[in-house]
Amino acid sequence: MNHPNDRKYAATHEWIIADAATATYTVGISDYAQQALGDVVHATLPNIGQQVSTGEACCVLESVKAASDVHAPISGTIIAINPDLAANPEQINDDPYKTGWLFRIQSHDESALTQLMTGEQYTANL
């Protein structure tokens, strides 16, 4: 399984990566999570402008196996969602770290980032 070290991972299988140029974060699910889910057939994403708290379920991914909550790895405001997932939710399976991203968040408190794991730590904890 592929878990790049350029981002942080939550124990609930979300990843987060900073965009230093815009001071925002992009969130998605790990390669492990997309494999466990199976073929994703629908993504219910959060609303732009929605406030989320660390650990809060903020969207749902439906697969041929089950529906699974996705949790916010940090608190903040949702500033963008991946518009391509409405028509092509399989991008989450095809490339969970690039085209399969879920949403972008502007953080109010980045302290939760210290509780997240590197790719190596995440892989070791699976």
Give the pLDDT mean for 1-21: 93
pTM of the model: 0.95
Q: Are 74 and 25 in contact (CB under 8 A)?
A: yes
From 3.40.50.10490, 2.60.40.1170, 2.40.50.100, 3.40.50.150, which CATH number describes the 8-116 domain?
2.40.50.100
Tell which residue, 41, 46, 42, has the closest CA to residue 56.
46
Residue range 81-122, pLDDT digits in tens: 999 999 999 999 999 999 999 999 999 788 899 999 999 999
Residue range 57-82, pLDDT digits in tens: 999 999 998 999 999 999 999 999 99
